[in-house]
Amino acid sequence: MESNVKNTESINVYEMFQRIVPTYDLLNHLFSFNIDKHWRKRMAELADVQSAFSMLDVCTGTADVAIAFARFNPALRVVGIDFSEGMLERGVKKVESAGLSDRIELKRQDALDIDLPANSYDIVCVAFGLRNLPDRERGIFEMARMARGGGRVVILEFVPPRKTLFGRIYGWYLRNVMPAIGGIVSRYRPSYTYLYSSISGFLEPDNVLEIMSRAGIDRPQAVSLSGGIAYIFHGTKKG
């Protein structure tokens, strides 16, 4: 997710996220069979969250990653940014309910032009938001700009379905099952039609690693999750 959008595609994405706020968390957990919780835990491990003091969560949505990481490390302070006021409002309520308002701050910001101090965060991460940006490469470069030298940059994202039997079944599920169920529950089917197109049109893992390397991230690596449904891309900023 991201903010301050100016073209038609981005405005539609903004409106879509605003409309699905009430059912967003429910459908995320439902469609992933709650595997997303395991993915966030693995993400925290690869980010070395226990050694960090500051984190920027880009495209924070309803703050699931921010909350999870803050729980993993009681010393961690998190800034979460997003473009959707509706998502942020729900995120603030979740942060308050978790008793983490003193350590998590949510802000409306543009992921492609972040108005925060550069070179400042031990961890800069994004979960399932990179593919929604109109310029994914610029999004990765912005993340790297925010990380301090020696800080961790971590990306959790779906990738296009693999050309395997499992990948074909997964692709069919994305294309047919998720829009049908998501449309009924959210009452806004286009958002789950968009989900398939955004995943199938996303970068291949090698492309993500190449961009991370050019952004100044040292020896980035890709970790496959759940048979290649999603990947965690991670590395350390040079300097």
Over residues 8-63, the pLDDT tens digits come to 343 377 677 777 776 667 666 666 667 888 999 999 999 999 999 999 999 999 99
pLDDT reported for residue 5: 33
Q: Which residues pair with 155 in a beta bridge?
A: 126, 233
pLDDT reported for residue 90: 94
- Please, what sign has the CA dihedral across residues 173, 155, 49, 95? negative
Intra-chain end-to-end CA distance of the chain, in Å: 29
pLDDT reported for residue 149: 98
pLDDT reported for residue 23: 65
Cα 44 to Cα 1: distance, rounded to the nearest angstrom: 20
> In the sheet that 147-158 helps form, which strands lie side by side, from edge to edge?
104-108, 77-82, 54-58, 121-127, 147-158, 230-237, 217-225
Architecture field, domain 33-160+203-237: 3-Layer(aba) Sandwich (3.40)
Q: Residues 156, 232: contact at Cβ < 8 Å?
A: yes
Residue 41 in tokens: 């835990």
pLDDT reported for residue 167: 87
Identify the band that residue 7 occupies on the pLDDT scale cut at 50, 70 and 90: very low
Share above pLDDT 70 across residues of the chain, in percent, rounded to a whole number? 87
Q: Residues 53, 76: contact at Cβ < 8 Å?
A: yes
pLDDT reported for residue 101: 98
Average pLDDT over every residue of 67-75: 97
Give yes or no for residue 128 having a pLDDT over 70: yes
Residue 49 in tokens: 């969250």
Identify the band that residue 186 occupies on the pLDDT scale cut at 50, 70 and 90: low
Of residues 178 and 145, more confidently modeled: 145
Q: Which of 31-35, 113-117, 192-196 has the highest mean pLDDT?
A: 113-117
Total residue length of the chain? 239
Average pLDDT over every residue of 202-228: 96
- Say what the pTM is: 0.89
Identify the band that residue 6 occupies on the pLDDT scale cut at 50, 70 and 90: very low
Average pLDDT over every residue of 215-221: 97
Q: Residues 78, 103: contact at Cβ < 8 Å?
A: yes
In single-letter form, the type of residue at position 5 comes to V
